[in-house]
């Protein structure tokens, strides 16, 4: 049904029928698989012409469908998304072995047609080869230089948390949607690193950039964009695609404006932010020669765009899941309140308090695990032929390291489908790390802002829980709070409102 719903967006069935007939012809004449290849390929369901295995998938919850298929075909199996052959990796041990022990072979990004068109191998997230290596290295260095994992980064987050709490207080306990204010607060952290300054929450350009970014992250995971990735010829028939492209171009225009504001006050002797550092590299002829001109305007625009998107959506989404879960499970929220009050009292929470707040830390980790906000991971592709767990996977094969199957691996978690902070506590109530906790993925493509995100989650969450008690709106019971996620590139909570009640 999900496939049919996606096709329903097409204005006329006739062009689709013609295209399908052409694809059937091409499939029958050019996509045969040799017996030798079949014998050594990971198992999987037999594909239909053109559609592949689409009829086995719920495109609104593809991660759940893939987890179910792994129970039948094992931790590594082959699936056809339309005519596109994909290898799925399921379960903690298999995903970790691929991404960590075979990091080179599984370390490239499978770039969908939409991002091939938009990015053209620029930036960090949707690039490969030398461009990706240099841009990722440069971004990681500068994230660290401008606050990630350092005291000055902590100070920026604490300052922003104060702005966010003032917004929450302004609602005076009346139900409100936390989406925009949380996203603006989190986005400002990456903005201080990228541009050297924050934005006011009512800044029209800032609001538009954040809102477009969040909309695109939702749209990129939609059924219609999934169909475009399988059948690129459908681009002209799906209205979602030009909307995503327009959002990207509008954001690039605003990025250019922000970059130019930084450029006007550039001092090569005093690098204040990521953009400063990039511009200084552009002026350094020796570095330009060493890096084959990679410090160009397109890489600047897309690196800034990548950092802005990644730094806004994932952490903001996780915080919103956390507040919703606290309202859903008031007894857990109560234990967090008790621990914060007992250990910290009324002073500002600091990163160093984490070790003294084992239950709160466990709750934050469990929020990340159960929220499962990037269930399919971002797709990888094999950089070379690889023999893996007795199977042969040829170079250029798209791979899905299924993070849902890691965070809900029944062999790793006592209650994989339940919000259970005790997953991260021992019998004495001490915090314990879990190897199967991989919300940031692993290996070469692991989230480069992981340490920044961890710091943000802890400081925002503890600051908010110290100040407020989060409840369902009047007349709505905890049981009625909906934990069904909204499909997107990341999984957001369904639209909802909460009350932030001040704690005396």
Question: In 15-122, which ranges are E strands?
Answer: 76-81, 84-89, 108-109
Measured distance CA(112)–CA(128) in Å, rounded: 13
| 500 SS3 class | strand
Predicted confidence at residue 210, as pLDDT, reads: 96
Report how far Cα 439 is from the mean position of its chain's Cα atoms.
9
Question: What Å distances lie between residue 126 and 306, 467, 480, CA to CA?
Answer: 9, 39, 39
* Rounded-to-integer distance, Cα 199 and Cα 210, Å: 11
Q: What is the pLDDT of residue 7?
A: 39
Query: How far is residue 432's CA from residue 455's CA, in Å, rounded to a whole number?
Result: 18
Q: Is 399 helix (H, G, I), strand (E, B) or coil?
A: strand
Q: What is the 3-state secondary structure (H, E, C) of 277-309?
A: HHHHHHHCHHHHHHCCCCCCHHHHHHHHHHHHH
Beta strands in 377-418 (DSSP E): 380-381, 386-388, 391-393, 398-401
Tokens coding 157: 């987050």
Domain coordinates in residue numbering, the chain: 2-502
In what helix (H) or strand (E) does residue 501 lie, and over which residues does it extend?
Answer: strand 499-502
Query: Which residues, 6+ apart, have CB-to-CB distance to 464 below 8 Å?
Result: 161, 164, 165, 168, 319, 323, 470, 500
pLDDT in tens, 175-231: 999 999 999 999 999 999 999 999 999 999 999 999 999 999 999 988 888 888 898
Two tokens, residue 332:
């857990």
Q: Strands 391-393 and 398-401, how do they pair?
A: unpaired
| Token couple for 479 | 């049981």
pTM of the model: 0.91
Strands (E), 322-461: 380-381, 386-388, 391-393, 398-401
Distance separating alpha carbons of residues 160 and 179, to the nearest angstrom: 16
pLDDT tens per residue, the chain (504 residues)? 444 344 344 444 444 554 554 454 444 444 444 555 556 899 999 999 999 999 999 988 999 999 999 999 999 999 999 999 999 999 999 999 999 999 999 999 999 999 999 999 999 999 999 999 999 999 999 999 988 878 888 999 999 999 999 999 999 999 999 999 999 999 999 999 999 999 999 999 999 999 999 999 999 988 888 888 898 888 878 889 999 999 999 999 999 999 999 999 999 999 999 999 999 998 876 666 667 689 999 999 999 999 999 989 999 999 999 999 999 999 999 999 999 999 999 999 999 999 999 999 999 999 999 999 999 999 999 999 999 999 999 999 999 999 999 999 999 999 999 999 999 999 999 999 999 999 999 999 999 999 999 999 999 999 999 999 999 999 999 999 999 999 899 999 999 999 999 997
Over the Cα atoms of the chain, what is R_g?
23
pLDDT of residue 39: 62
Residue 320 to residues 161, 281, 372, 485, 492, Cα–Cα distance (Å) = 14, 37, 13, 12, 8
For residues 81 and 227, give the distance between their C-alpha atoms in angstroms, rounded to a whole number.
9
The structure tokens listed for 424 are 């991260």
The tokens for 270 are 């005093």
Nearest to 457 by CA among 375, 371, 376: 371
Give how far the C-alpha of residue 356 lies from the chain's centroid of Cα atoms, to the nearest Å.
29
Number of residues written out for the chain: 504
CATH number of 2-502: 1.10.630.10
Q: What is the pLDDT of residue 13?
A: 45
């Amino acid at each position: 049904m999900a496939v049919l719903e996606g096709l329903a967006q097409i204005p006329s069935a006739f062009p689709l029928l013609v295209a399908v007939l052409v694809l059937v012809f091409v499939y029958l004449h050019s996509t045969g698989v040799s017996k030798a290849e079949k014998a050594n390929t990971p198992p999987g369901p037999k594909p239909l012409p053109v559609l592949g295995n689409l009829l086995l998938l719920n495109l609104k919850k593809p991660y759940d469908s893939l987890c179910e298929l792994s129970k039948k075909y094992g931790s590594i199996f082959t699936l056809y998304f339309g005519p596109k052959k994909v290898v799925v990796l399921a379960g903690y041990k298999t995903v970790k072995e691929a991404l960590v022990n075979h990091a080179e072979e599984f370390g490239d990004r499978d770039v969908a047609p939409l991002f091939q068109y938009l990015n053209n191998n620029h930036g960090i997230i949707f690039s490969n080869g030398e461009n990706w290596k240099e841009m990722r290295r440069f971004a990681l260095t500068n994230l660290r230089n401008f606050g990630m994992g350092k005291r000055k980064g902590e100070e920026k987050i604490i300052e922003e948390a104060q702005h966010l709490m003032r917004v929450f207080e302004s609602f005076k306990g009346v139900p409100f949607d936390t989406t925009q204010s949380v996203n603006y607060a989190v986005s400002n952290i990456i903005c201080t690193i990228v541009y050297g300054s924050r934005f006011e929450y009512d800044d029209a350009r800032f609001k538009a950039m954040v809102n477009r970014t969040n909309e695109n992250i939702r749209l990129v995971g939609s059924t219609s964009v999934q169909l475009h990735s399988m059948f690129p010829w459908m681009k002209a028939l799906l209205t979602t695609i030009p909307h995503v492209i327009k959002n990207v171009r509008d954001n690039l225009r605003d990025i250019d404006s922000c970059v130019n504001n930084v450029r006007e006050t550039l001092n090569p002797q005093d690098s204040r932010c990521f953009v400063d550092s990039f511009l200084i590299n552009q002026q350094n002829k020796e570095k330009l020669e060493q890096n084959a001109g990679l410090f160009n305007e397109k890489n600047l625009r897309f690196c800034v765009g990548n950092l802005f998107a990644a730094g806004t959506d994932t952490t903001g989404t996780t915080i919103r899941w956390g507040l919703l879960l606290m309202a859903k499970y008031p007894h857990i929220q109560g234990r967090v309140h008790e621990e914060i009050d007992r250990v910290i009292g009324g002073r500002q929470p600091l990163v160093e308090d984490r070790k003294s707040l084992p239950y709160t830390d466990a709750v934050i980790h469990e929020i990340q695990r159960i929220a499962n906000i990037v269930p399919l991971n971002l797709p990888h592709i094999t950089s070379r032929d690889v023999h893996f767990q007795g199977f042969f996977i040829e170079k250029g094969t798209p791979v899905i390291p299924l993070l849902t199957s890691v965070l809900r691996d029944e062999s790793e978690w006592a209650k994989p489908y339940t919000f259970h902070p005790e997953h991260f506590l021992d019998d004495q109530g001490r915090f314990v790390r879990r190897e199967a906790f991989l919300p940031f993925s692993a290996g070469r493509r692991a989230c480069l802002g992981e340490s920044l995100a961890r710091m943000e989650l802890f400081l925002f969450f503890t600051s908010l829980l110290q100040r407020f008690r989060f409840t369902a709106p009047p007349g709505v019971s905890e049981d009625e709070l909906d934990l069904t996620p909204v499909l997107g590139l990341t999984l957001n909570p369904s639209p909802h409102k909460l009350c932030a009640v001040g704690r005396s």
